[in-house]
Structure 1
Amino acid sequence: MKTALRPSVALLLIAGILGLVALAFAWAGGWLSPRRIGGAAIADALQDNLGKPEPGWRRAHAKGLCVSGYFDANGTGTALSRAALFPAGRIPVTGRFSLGGGDPLAGDGRNVFHSMALLFRLPDGEQWRMAMDHTPIFPVATPADFVSLQIAGIPDPATHKPDPAKLQAYLAGHPETKAFMDYMKSAPLPSSFANGTYYSINAFRFVDAGGASRAVRWQFEPEAPFAALDKKTLDAQPRDFLFVDALKRLSAGPMRWHMIVVLANPGDRTDNATIPWGAGHRRVDVGTLTLDRAATEAAGDCRDYNFDPLVLPRGVTASDDPLLPARSAAYSASFRRRAIEGPRPDALTQAGEGGAK
């Protein structure tokens, strides 16, 4: 025979559960530890550096284009992870192309991140969300360094450029950021969203059906042949040329990438996104991503998604990279802010390029 809880005991249990939930939110937001950088602090740093956007814009990667399509898994990924993306079959995908920066009306002729975000709609209501850049490394290793870099790069009101002394002082203590900036100066820039490789940047862990766990990174490698932009002529390009190119390409036919899973070797760092893993790794092609439709954010449905990299299915978990919880918290903070701001404008519609394709 079951014994009913006394009202006072039941209330105490409910209060305890609510308290634990509140503590979890406080921990995620960074309120319990002065060392932990919360999502609001990261969003504030971005706004201080890039300028507070007009209501409704994302705090970073503000200029974007909605895309959609599907992922055809070839079945080989099931040996690595029990995630529902990997059994042979087709999974619908919603995504977004974007450029780095907080100004949605900035020109595309900039030497910045080209990004692809994806949301896979898996069986049983699961989702897997990814936010990837065309660079295999990131400029900072920790959330605190990210905030410090944004502060060091705040433009001077008189020159509209960062104070060279402040930026050099930061770089002197952060050779990994200097290495990234040198990489961006020298590395070729894809001429299209269609011919760039997009990297997970952070490490994750795959868990197979037997419970074995392995560290991985992944990348989406294009079927379109790579072509580089002439960086000397970036300023002369039409303002929205990358997005117009994507719309034209998708009106003519689909874009395709192969999802390549890269397995860590012994000694590879999983907690530092500034360090590339290099060559000599086992690579597994687990399937093909096909994007066959595009629309501006006013006409599409990607604008209201938060492409949080910690929205993961069973069979995939976060690594020990401290940037992952920080990215998740920052994306949530940005989403909350723009969700209550409204209206939600569209950069390409304002540029006169709008309309679904």
Structure 2
Amino acid sequence: MSISSNMLKHAFLMSSLVFFPLSSAVAGDDTDKPVVEQLVDTLTTIAGPHPGIRKNHAKGVVVLGEFTPSSEASSVSMAQHLQSASTPVTIRFSNTTGIPDIADTNPSSFPKGIAIRFQLADDSYTDIVSISVNRFPAATPEDFLGLINAVATSGPDAATPKPITQFLASHPAAKTFVEPPKPAPVSFATQPFYGVNAFKFTNKDGEVKYGRYQIIPLNGPEYLTDEQRAAAGNNYLFEELPKRLQQGKVELTLALQIAEKGDDLTDPTVVWPETRQTVRLGTITIDSIDPNDEQFAKQNMFNPLALTDGIEASEDPILLARPSAYAISYGRRLSGQ
């Protein structure tokens, strides 16, 4: 599989963004590197050297299927894939961290990730990138850098209180993110995922809504018991999914939680109330593992700002920074770093 011109265009456009307003995040830090590049550097430090590997969500599997929109979807947005026809999708499930052999049961492999590429009729694409937690630990790239820097400097030799303890004490959103239990899903196919960033949706009549994605297993979430988790193998999720697909297709619901007036559209640490309207956008049907799994994963970068007419980014600073960091990691991966 060759690297698409569309992918290279997005990579170079996004990497150019690093020279815009994201300045150094640490007081007294004399580095000239933009925050997004520091993010990639610190994630690399935490994971250790793994040349040619993603700096986060390194361990993953790519699957193939299609998306069929619901009858409600076109009322939300005029986006191509939300109209009547089905759209091919390529999906990557993954573990957190840049460690390519991290155990699926390891708490550090949470949150799990999902990236969805919709292959549009005009040979372009649009992507969704989501995680298995309905919030993010930081509202800005600078705060996220502060969090992972604290993790990186809190090794066994760090003085007490360790930097991560001090950071969490002064950043309640990050503390709320890391403290809840991290249940192990029975399968990637039984794990709900959430888009922590808001997007603007416009339908053919010009009506505008803001919303956040939700990707929910058709039959609801399923998790291992503590005993099952203790007995599970290091690669149990990656072994289970091919077996499940041999037995039949996997279905996920793509939904959109709609913001109401006063809901924060730019802070991914804020969870919107469960009482907000949720619109079912359609069904994702997964039917097979991509036979070019590893090649696709290495040569492609999912980009949450690869958007199509009818969907626009919000002003969420985390959302706007993500593709730049991804592009830096992507460029290093291609060069074998």
Deviations 1:128-178 (A, max 9, x none): 111111111111111001111111001556x38997521111112100111
Distance 2:234 2:157 in 1: 20
Alignment of 1:262 with 2:260, yes or no, is: no
Distance 1:194 1:109 in 2: 16
Structure 1 residue ranges without an equivalent (≥5): 1-21, 343-357
Alignment of 1:58 with 2:54, yes or no, is: yes
Q: CA deviation at 1:49?
A: 2.3
Does the 8 Å contact 2:63/2:293 carry over to 1?
no
Q: CA deviation at 1:311?
A: 0.6
Distance 1:81 1:73 in 2: 11
Between 90-99 and 159-168, report the one with greater CA deviation.
159-168
Aligned with 2:213 (options 207, 212, 218): 218
Q: How many residues align?
A: 317
Distance change (3 Å), C-alpha of 1:240 and 1:189: closer
Distance 1:42 1:190 in 2: 28
Distance change (3 Å), C-alpha of 1:32 and 1:220: closer
Task: Letter of the 1:77 partner, please give it.
Answer: A
Deviations 1:109-142 (A, max 9, x none): 1221111111001122231111111111111111
Does the 8 Å contact 1:137/1:273 carry over to 2?
yes
SS where residue 331 of structure 1 aligns? Answer: helix
What residue in structure 2 maps to residue 8 of structure 1? none
SS where residue 119 of structure 1 aligns? Answer: strand
Distance 2:318 2:159 in 1: 24
List aligned pairs for 1:321-340, cutoff 5 A: 321-340=316-335
For normalisation by structure 1, the TM-score amounts to 0.82
Distance 2:259 2:162 in 1: 39
Does the 8 Å contact 1:110/1:235 carry over to 2?
no
Identity of aligned residues (%): 30
Does the 8 Å contact 2:190/2:223 carry over to 1?
no
List aligned pairs for 1:125-140, cutoff 5 A: 125-140=123-138
Task: Letter of the 2:91 partner, please give it.
Answer: G
Distance 1:153 1:307 in 2: 26
Distance change (3 Å), C-alpha of 1:299 and 1:310: closer
What residue in structure 1 maps to residue 46 of structure 2? 49
List aligned pairs for 1:240-255, cutoff 5 A: 240-255=235-250
What residue in structure 1 maps to residue 222 of structure 2? 227
Does the 8 Å contact 2:64/2:288 carry over to 1?
yes
Does the 8 Å contact 2:61/2:293 carry over to 1?
no
Task: Letter of the 1:132 partner, please give it.
Answer: S
Distance 1:31 1:225 in 2: 41
Alignment of 1:86 with 2:82, yes or no, is: yes
What residue in structure 1 maps to residue 3 of structure 2? none
List aligned pairs for 1:16-35, cutoff 5 A: 26-30=16-20, 33-34=23-24
Q: CA deviation at 1:187?
A: 5.5
Distance 1:296 1:179 in 2: 39
SS where residue 49 of structure 1 aligns? Answer: helix
Distance 2:90 2:265 in 1: 28
What residue in structure 2 maps to residue 77 of structure 1? 73
Does the 8 Å contact 1:156/1:163 carry over to 2?
no
Q: CA deviation at 1:269?
A: 0.7
Which protein shows a greater Rg? 1
Distance 2:17 2:152 in 1: 28
Task: Letter of the 1:315 partner, please give it.
Answer: G
SS where residue 259 of structure 1 aligns? Answer: strand
Distance 1:290 1:140 in 2: 32
Distance 2:205 2:278 in 1: 21
Structure 2 residue ranges without an equivalent (≥5): 1-11, 26-32
What residue in structure 2 maps to residue 275 of structure 1? 270
Does the 8 Å contact 2:18/2:37 carry over to 1?
no
Distance 2:106 2:69 in 1: 34
Task: Letter of the 1:274 partner, please give it.
Answer: T
Aligned with 2:191 (options 188, 193, 196): 196
Q: CA deviation at 1:229?
A: 2.0
Distance 2:293 2:127 in 1: 21
For normalisation by structure 2, the TM-score amounts to 0.86
Task: Letter of the 1:96 partner, please give it.
Answer: R
Distance 2:234 2:13 in 1: 46
Q: CA deviation at 1:340?
A: 1.1
Does the 8 Å contact 2:255/2:280 carry over to 1?
yes
Aligned with 1:150 (options 148, 151, 169): 148
Deviations 1:70-107 (A, max 9, x none): 00112321111110011112100011110111111111
Between 58-67 and 302-311, report the one with greater CA deviation.
302-311
